[in-house]
Amino acid sequence: MNRNLPPALVLRYPHPILDEVIPVNVVPVPQELLDRLFCTMYHYRGLGLAANQIGEKRRVFVMRVPNGIERVFINPRVTARSDDTKVETEGCLSLPGQFYPVDRHLTMDLTCNNQGKLYTISLEGLEARVAQHEMDHLNGIILSRGNDVRLL
The helix (H) or strand (E) run that includes residue 129 is helix 125-138
Looking only at residues 80 through 99 of this chain, which bind Zn ion when binding is defined by CB under 5 A? 92
Q: Does residue 39 touch Zn ion according to CB under 5 A?
A: no
Q: Least separation, in Å, of the C-beta of 118 and Zn ion?
A: 26
Q: Least separation, in Å, of the C-beta of 92 and Zn ion?
A: 3
Q: Does residue 37 touch Zn ion according to CB under 5 A?
A: no
Q: Does residue 102 touch Zn ion according to CB under 5 A?
A: no
Compute CA 143 distance to the chain's CA centroid, rounded to the nearest angstrom.
12
Rounded distance, CA 150 to CA 57, Å?
29
- Cα-Cα-Cα-Cα torsion 83, 125, 129, 103, nearest 10 degrees, comes to 50
Q: Least separation, in Å, of the C-beta of 43 and Zn ion?
A: 15
Q: Which residues would be at the binding site for Zn ion (CB under 5 A)?
A: 92
